[in-house]
Structure 1
Amino acid sequence: MTYAISAALQSAVFAALNGDAALTSLVGDGIYDAVPAGSVPDIYVRLGSEVVREASDVSGDGAVHFFTVSVITTNPGFSSAKAAAAAVSDALHDADLTLVRGILISLRFERAAARRIDAASARQIDLRFRARVSDD
């Protein structure tokens, strides 16, 4: 197993989201690894948690990364959040990302959960993805 590709995968995911015209038309530059202090846009995307499992085989070291990308909005209803979540999913599902270390073998959407947050004044959709990487 190797966790060494985690930072490379995160950087590639962040770049893919920032480079996606459909997503940026919905959230502008509101795509964050860490949400900045102070005010944030009415709708934004945040890279979230990650769980990594061993996936080495005879070809070499590898891992499966399960990571979350969240869409958060204070806009009423779920409509704008769902549009942005769809754009995130379209940008990442089956994406062919180049990593600075290792190789991305596959990147798949796995599931999503939508909920009200902040005493129901905001909405959040968490999208979970599965990335298989190899350290070749």
Structure 2
Amino acid sequence: MSYAVAAALQTAIYDRLTGDAAVGGLVGDAVYDALPDGALPALYVILGAEDVRDASDKTGGGAEHRLVISVVTERAGFAAAKAVAAAVSDALVDADLTLTRGRLVALHFVKARALRVGTGSIRQINLTFNARVSDDA
């Protein structure tokens, strides 16, 4: 197994989302790897948790990354968050991302969960994706 491709995968996903016209049209530059200090916008995207498993085979090292990208909003209802979630999914599913290390073999949508957070004034959609990478280093 190799975890060495994780940073390259995260950077490529972040770059894809920040460079995507549809995502940008909905959230502007509010796509985060880490939340900034201060007030947050009413609608934003944040890269979240990741679970990685070995996917090496006789051709070389590899890993399967199960990663979560969240859409968070203070706006009433889920409509705005769902529009952003759809744009995020469209930007990533089967994307041909170039990594600085290794190679993306596949990137697929796994599931989504929409929920109210805390007292219900915050709405969040957690999108889970599965990325298969090989480490060609």
**TM-score under structure 2 normalisation?**
0.98
**SS of equivalent to 2:101:** coil
2:33 — aligned with what?
33
Partner Cα separation in structure 2 for residue 113 and residue 59 of structure 1: 35
1:97 aligns with 2:75: no
Q: Which runs of 5+ in 1 are unaligned?
A: none
Among all aligned residue pairs of Structure 1 and Structure 2, give the percentage whose two residues are the same amino acid: 58
2:133 — aligned with what?
133
1:52 aligns with 2:42: no
Output one character per residue of 1:32-54: Cα deviation in whole Å (capped at 9) or x when no partner. 00011110110000000000000
2:10 — aligned with what?
10
Q: Which runs of 5+ in 2 are unaligned?
A: none
1:72 maps to a residue whose letter is V
Superposed CA RMSD: 0.5
Output one character per residue of 1:44-98: Cα deviation in whole Å (capped at 9) or x when no partner. 0000000000000011000000000000000000000000000000000000000
1:82 — aligned with what?
82
Partner Cα separation in structure 2 for residue 29 and residue 106 of structure 1: 26
Partner Cα separation in structure 2 for residue 49 and residue 81 of structure 1: 19
2:11 maps to a residue whose letter is S
Moved over 4 A (4+): none
1:101 maps to a residue whose letter is R
**SS of equivalent to 1:3:** coil
Partner Cα separation in structure 2 for residue 105 and residue 11 of structure 1: 16
1:106 — aligned with what?
106
**SS of equivalent to 1:36:** coil
